[in-house]
Amino acid sequence: MTLNRRRFLQSTAATAATGMFASSAYAEDPIGVASIHDLSGGLDIYGKPMIDALTLAVEEANAAGGLLGRQIKLINYDTQSNMQLYTQFAQQAALKDKVAVVHGGITSASREVIRPVLDRFKTLYFYNTQYEGGVCDRNQFDTGVTPAQTVEKLVPHAMKKWGKKVYVVAADYNYGQITSQWVKKYVTENGGEVSSIDFFPLDVTNFGPTISKIQAAKPDFVWSALVGGAHISFYRQWAAAGMRKSIPMASTTFAVGNEHIVLSPEECDGMLVCYNYFQDLKNPVNEAFVTAFHKRFGADYPNITELAMGTYQGFRLWAEAVKKAGSIDPHQGDRGAGDRHQHRCALRQGDDRSADASLRARRAYRRGQRQEAQGAGRLRPAEARRYRRGLRPHQESERQPAICDQDLRASPSSNPVWDKSCLER
């Protein structure tokens, strides 16, 4: 075929127009957000409220115009409480669906399965569950509370209320093992003793022998760090043995999966719990949130859990970051990455002033200004030397969760009603 000048210009113009519209269409593609949670399996009691909260947050964002002029597409993956599926879906989200961010994981075991996969493929990860602490990963944000923010507050309150001898029962994985050691630490520091710590795999349902051991030990109260649907059996068997009225119980995990909806009031009344969110908080912001949640999912929706709120907050934090950055790429403009990584780690474990001090100190050392580095944020010489080696002093968060006595005598499906001993710190 002979190609004359006119035909060449016509074909070039058509190609350019096609490319222009393709680029425009690509720019309008929705932003992918992955939800990797348990919709089924032994941990679905936690996963379903988290997915509902994420769904509400995405729908609110799309109703407000989306992000960067684009709508948001939520992709749900049901891991069925299976660690292999966590790995599979993390790879699928990063490589096939090419999502901008993953919100997912419930147990610390599932987090540690997801985290290296998303690190490898540079996909941003939000872990929105209470956890044992200690994770500092520049590709991951943890929005949940740690034992330093809950156990530290609940232990002395429970000891003052009931006594100093404690028996601990916990789930046999990272969270339960590490949290039980935090319980032991704070009990000892407050002049008490831990008579025993018993661990249980997530699928255990027979707690008879352990209840007999607790009866023989005669503690002042039991601390529960049990997790999952199978462990609900402990509370039921505890009540059936007549123990609920003789030995009280405290927990930072009970009712996080709405266990009190499954149990009768007689099986769980009087539990002392500590969270960073209660649906019953009386303030305009929370009341507006609860109203919107019930409008979307029904007025008869069970109690909105701490994990649901953490997931909602996690998405909102990510969305605000995208707006400020003007991009969904977390690695855009990677200059000064080491400083920002250290800055973010300090932010996770302390207040803004502590983080700013760490950032200034490290930069000062790089400029060779030892005197300025030691003075930045009023650091002591020993702390300044730690920064030179790339370390940081531990800074505890100032977040103070609420501690409340749970009274569910109204009905199994009612929301918790807090008695006069409720402490909001």
Give a yes or no: residue 197 inside a domain: no
Give a yes or no: residue 269 inside a domain: no
pLDDT reported for residue 44: 87
| pLDDT tens per residue across span 147-164 | 988 999 999 999 999 999
Do 123 and 93 touch, CB atoms closer than 8 A?
A: yes
Lowest mean pLDDT among 152-156, 243-247, 249-253, 421-425: 421-425
Give a yes or no: residue 117 inside a domain: yes
* C-alpha span between 180 and 174 (Å, rounded): 10
For the chain, the residue count is: 425
* C-alpha span between 255 and 302 (Å, rounded): 11
Q: Mean pLDDT: which of 44-58, 324-338, 405-419 is highest? A: 44-58
Closest CA to 155 of 230, 222, 231, 234: 222
Give a yes or no: residue 245 inside a domain: no
Give a yes or no: residue 409 inside a domain: no
Domain of residue 138 covers 29-144+278-350
| pLDDT tens per residue across span 186-221 | 999 999 999 999 999 989 999 999 999 999 999 999
* C-alpha span between 9 and 22 (Å, rounded): 20
- Cα-to-chain-centroid distance, residue 341: 20
Give a yes or no: residue 42 inside a domain: yes
Dig out the tokens for 125 from the structure.
Answer: 């990860």
- Cα-to-chain-centroid distance, residue 185: 23
| pLDDT tens per residue across span 32-50 | 999 999 999 888 888 999 9
Give a yes or no: residue 261 inside a domain: no
| pLDDT tens per residue across span 288-304 | 999 999 999 999 998 89
pLDDT tier for residue 422 given thresholds of 50, 70 and 90: very low
Q: Tokens 């007025």 — which residue? A: 299
Do 110 and 125 touch, CB atoms closer than 8 A?
A: no
Degrees to nearest 5, angle at CA 95 with 21 and 60: 65
pLDDT tier for residue 28 given thresholds of 50, 70 and 90: confident
Q: Mean pLDDT: which of 71-85, 130-144, 353-367, 384-398 is highest? A: 71-85
pLDDT reported for residue 260: 79
pLDDT reported for residue 416: 35
Residue 86, domain CATH? 3.40.50.2300
pLDDT reported for residue 79: 96
Strand, coil or helix: what is 265? helix
Give a yes or no: residue 130 inside a domain: yes
pLDDT tier for residue 4 given thresholds of 50, 70 and 90: low
User: What average pLDDT does range 332-357 have in this prediction?
Assistant: 47
* C-alpha span between 347 and 327 (Å, rounded): 22
Read off the pTM: 0.71
User: What average pLDDT does range 124-141 have in this prediction?
Assistant: 91
pLDDT tier for residue 333 given thresholds of 50, 70 and 90: low
Q: Which DSSP symbol is given to 30?
A: P
Name the domain count of the chain. 1
Closest CA to 252 of 350, 137, 133, 164: 133
